[in-house]
Amino acid sequence: MTETDIATAESGEYRRGAEIVLDSITKRYPGQRDPAVEDFSITIPAGEIVVFVGPSGCGKTTTMRMINRLIEPTSGTITIDGRDVTSVNPDRLRRGIGYSIQQAGLFPHLSVARNIATVPGLLGWDRKRISARVDEMLELVGLDPATFRRRYPRQLSGGQQQRVGVARALAADPPVLLMDEPFGAVDPITRGLLQDELLRLQAELHKTIVFVTHDFNEAVKLGDRIAVLGNKSRILQYDTPAAILAEPADDTVAGFVGADAGLKQLTLTRVADVDRGQCPTAVDTDPVEPLRAELAEQEWKWGLILDAQRRPLRWVSADQLAHATSLWEVGQPVTGTVALRSSLQAALETLLADSTANAVVTGRRGEYAGLVTIDTLVAHLAEMRTEHSTTGPDRAEPDNPGSGSTETEHDRGSGDTPSDGADSGNTQPGGTGPDAANSGDAESDTTAPDSGDEAGS
């Protein structure tokens, strides 16, 4: 990551993510016996979402904030795309790293447009370019520019505020995005929608995202990899969600995973990726006898009636066909379907709600594409357990050397570690903004350029 890259966001295609390496990072606060973060090492691959998950006070937020130097490490090195972050001016560094926090952290006295324009304005973009970027970012996060650019944060719902926060974090096209429990303050339904939105954005942008949460379900849903952290940010396990669910490294990690690990595994696999079952089918204009004979021959309890475009309409049983003269109205409606892109968790929910205990799968045009059954799910979970059991649970750093933690048990000894919020001594009130500087007057710094408001007018 060159200084030019940090200072300038290129037009055209979005910049992809950069690799982040934290090597033997330690953070000590004056007057405290134990470090908040001790000898933390991890490699975060370019273009992936890596989630730090752990209990409150374990140091996960402190660790993340050392990446953009909102907190200065006591020792160790941090590089982004091979360049030591301490070799870059802190303000310039932060302008090249997106930052999104809980409750969005928007400046309440600035319009949506000016909030999004903050970092581009600091980077010296001209007003025309900023105006275009504001509209582009609003459209990217699913908000209509004509409706929202002139509004103020108080005029937005919690979900809308969070979307604007993400738009602001991405406005200067940074290769790296830091997200500190960004969806923790919204209701569960909105939270799920925001998670889906982040995954959609990542599929398009391919940024390197470091995401902090205490919610393991959120970590499983969002992360390409998960770092389960213990006291002092000690890495208990660092691996893919599937591997952690299949083989937790120790009892502490197993406690995070919970008793429903099998159900969580179902969220990781798409319906398109498993072998789907088939049942006897017929189009509603077909004669009755062939379907009746096929049900009897294959000993299927249910057949599926399709329309002329092969979209599922109704389930029909052998008993219902016994005296039927046509397929036009016989049977009971299919109550729900799942798409090929749906998760197996969604398929499970659908089949549990269906009287036939089957989930009908549909393709891109709604056409019938097979079934997911209980047997499908059981076979998939067994396959996942077999796949991961051969590698064992010791996964502090599966693909990258030097994870910084060779211990396998959670240290319950010290209670002196400051909580994730204990770093406030190193962060000024403006530190929640995207360009918080160590000067203590970050907010006035970010409001200086007025080009964003002109962009919004």
pLDDT digits over 337-362, tens only?
Answer: 998 888 888 899 899 988 888 999 99
Alpha helices in 342-436 (DSSP H): 344-353, 374-389
Local confidence band at 232 (pLDDT 50, 70, 90 cut-offs): very high
Average pLDDT, the chain: 80
pLDDT value at 436 more than 50:
no
Of 110 and 389, the structure prediction assigns the larger pLDDT to 110
Strand partners, 25: 40
Asked whether the predicted pLDDT for residue 37 surpasses 90, the reply is yes
Cα separation, 86 vs 360, whole angstroms: 55
Average pLDDT over residues 352-373: 91
Give me the percent of the chain exceeding a pLDDT of 90.
Answer: 41
Supply 215's token pair.
Answer: 């919610």
Tokens of 46: 């370019």
Answer whether residue 82 shows pLDDT above 60. yes
Question: pLDDT category, 200, cuts 50, 70, 90?
Answer: confident
Enumerate the domain spans of the chain: 3-234+411-456, 271-382
What value does the mean pLDDT take over residues 306-331? 92
C-alpha atoms less than 13 angstroms from C-alpha of 102 in its C-beta half-sphere: 12
Decide: helix, strand or coil at residue 414.
Answer: coil
Q: Is the pTM of this model over 0.75?
A: no
Count of other CB atoms within 10 angstroms of residue 311: 16
Looking at residues 139-156, what average pLDDT do you find?
89
Greater model confidence, 77 or 95: 77
Give residue 148's pLDDT band: very low, low, confident or very high (50, 70, 90): very high
Topology (CATH) of 3-234+411-456? Rossmann fold (3.40.50)
Contact 21, 43 (CB under 8 A): yes
Which whole number is the average pLDDT over 102-114? 84
pLDDT at residue 2, as a whole number: 45
How far is C-alpha 141 from the geometric centre of its chain's CA atoms?
A: 14
Q: What was the pLDDT predicted at 246?
A: 83
Reply yes or no on whether the pLDDT at 440 is more than 60.
no
405 or 241: which leads in pLDDT: 241
More confident of the two residues 244 and 400: 244
> What pLDDT is recorded for position 409?
32
- Taking CA atoms, 154 is separated from 110, 323, 433, 449, in Å, by 10, 64, 17, 22
* Chain centroid offset of residue 107 CA: 25
Question: Sorting pLDDT into bands at 50, 70 and 90, what band is 112?
Answer: very high
- The angle, 0 to 180 degrees and rounded to 10, between the axes of the packed helices 344-353 and 374-389 is 150
Q: Is the pLDDT of residue 424 over 80?
A: no
Going by the DSSP 8-state scheme, the letter that residue 232 receives in this structure is G
Contacts of range 301-304, beta carbons closer than 8 Å, 24 or more positions apart: 301/356, 302/356, 302/358, 303/279, 304/279, 304/280, 304/334, 304/360, 304/368
- Quick one: average pLDDT of 424-450? 35
Residue 401 pLDDT > 90? no
Architecture of domain 271-382: Roll (3.10)
pLDDT at 448: 36
Lowest mean pLDDT among 24-28, 130-134, 295-299, 420-424: 420-424
Q: Looking at the predicted structure, is the pLDDT value of residue 388 above 90?
A: no
Contact 33, 149 (CB under 8 A): no
**Helices (H), ranges, 66-215:** 90-95, 112-116, 118-122, 127-140, 145-148, 158-170, 188-205
CB neighbour class for 271 (10 Å; exposed up to 12, middle 13-18, buried from 19)? buried
Structure tokens at 379: 């076979």
Structural element, H or E, at residue 7: helix 3-7
